[in-house]
Amino acid sequence: MSKIINMKNQPDPGQCVVTAAEACQALGISRDTLYAYVSRGLLRAAAHPGDARRSLYDHRDVRALAERKDRGRSRRAVAESTINWGEPVLTSRITRIADGRYFYRGRDAVSFAAEATLEDALARLAEVQPRAPVRLPSGWQCPAHTLPFNRVLAMLAGEAAAGRTGDGRPRAAQLIRQAAFAAAGRAASQTGRPVHEILATAWSNDPAAAAAVRQALVLSADHELNASAYAARVAASAGASLPASLLAGISTLSGTRHGGMTSRCRDWVAAMGDAAEADLGPELGDAATPPPGFGHPLYPDGDPRALALLRLFPKAERWHRLAAAVQAQTGHHPTIDFGLALVERQLHLPDGAGMAIFAVGRMAGWTAHIFEQRRSGQLIRPRAAVEA
């Protein structure tokens, strides 16, 4: 792969590509095998800008295939490759990530979020039709914690400890509604208002808040087999209740390398102050260590969730300039964490609101994963490779 061409006006702008001969040489394969990889979706191809009869191939896919080949295909090598952004480990029909986009049961998630509510996302992802209005349990009280995320966490812990029986499907929409009131910090209304209005009314007087919160919730609803979804599935596979399985998910989301990255990103932007981007230097990071909220392994050309949220605030010039400066210096694009931090700050929401939006929205996806895992009837129980 000595010669790398920067393609322009192709499906993936800025993508680095190699020729067929270079790809075959790097992989040690024939042209027929190369074409087979393309047909199986293992290697992305695009028309050569100067010769329509030829194709060019994504160098990242070539590199990934080469690394996989070097690892070998032993059971241990395959198992180890699933741990860190590796090969698929479970079969799921909920969300698919491909070619810089992600899809909720076949529907482009960004276009879906432009018009859908979180209730719509729950219906699509978990195939649960909310009954309207979904009311809170009699005597329900909001947990007494300062941060919205912590109130949601405490609410789910209480529900898990209550030990209610049943599969939880009839209560799925109610639990998300309880989470919304917990995040909002009050249960002032028992009406059938959608989740985004519950949060926006409690947190902001900005008329633009409801639409932005709605879109952020739906964009956050699921993202394939991430750490928190996997944790929720493990709990569900062991027979844990719906609230207990959701608790496993939100506990994992609380980590600083998952949902907690949202608050880290917000604090980083605040620490940048009003300095000009050209003066920030090391604070912008480098390719190996970008700032919090930048660089997603599944989206080397940009996280579509972050892009959608950035488009909601075209006048947030400081945020747009910072994103451009980091991308120019490190090659990394903003992630959803950057987008949620932007929503929190631009709408003047309470501290931690961005992370709470992440949690409440992701409950729809966790619910879908929990029900799908239950239907499989399988207990998730990997084996450990013991070091000598």
List pLDDT tens digits, range 295-325: 999 998 999 999 999 999 999 999 999 999 9
This prediction has a pTM of: 0.82
Question: What is the CB-side half-sphere exposure of residue 377 using CA atoms within 13 A?
Answer: 0
Domains parsed from the chain with CATH numbers: 5-71 (1.10.1660.10), 93-388 (1.10.580.10)
CB 27, CB 61: distance < 8 Å: no
Alpha-carbon distance of 215 to 209, in angstroms, equals: 10
| Alpha helix ranges (H) inside the chain | 20-27, 31-39, 59-71, 75-81, 109-113, 118-126, 148-162, 172-184, 195-203, 209-219, 227-237, 242-253, 261-272, 304-311, 317-330, 336-346, 353-376
Alpha-carbon distance of 59 to 51, in angstroms, equals: 19
At residue 367, φ and ψ (nearest 5 deg) are -60, -45
User: What tokens were used for 135?
Assistant: 């009311």
- Please measure the distance between the N-terminal and C-terminal CA atoms of the chain and give it in whole angstroms: 37
pLDDT tens for residues 187-221? Answer: 766 567 899 999 999 999 998 899 999 999 999 99
Alpha-carbon distance of 253 to 361, in angstroms, equals: 12
DSSP code of residue 1: -
Kindly report the average pLDDT of the chain as a whole number: 88
CB 121, CB 221: distance < 8 Å: yes
3-state secondary structure 30-77: CHHHHHHHHHCCCCCEEEECCEEEEEEEEHHHHHHHHHHHHHCCCHHH
Q: Is the dihedral of CA 101, 119, 319, 84 positive or negative?
A: negative
pLDDT tens for residues 160-178? Answer: 998 777 777 888 999 999 9
pLDDT tens for residues 25-65? Answer: 989 898 888 888 887 778 888 888 888 788 999 888 888 88
CB 238, CB 377: distance < 8 Å: no
Across the range 98-121, mean pLDDT stands at: 96
Neighbours of 13 (CB within 10 A): 12
pLDDT tens for residues 121-159? Answer: 999 999 987 766 677 777 788 898 999 999 999 999 999
pLDDT at 85 > cutoff 70? no
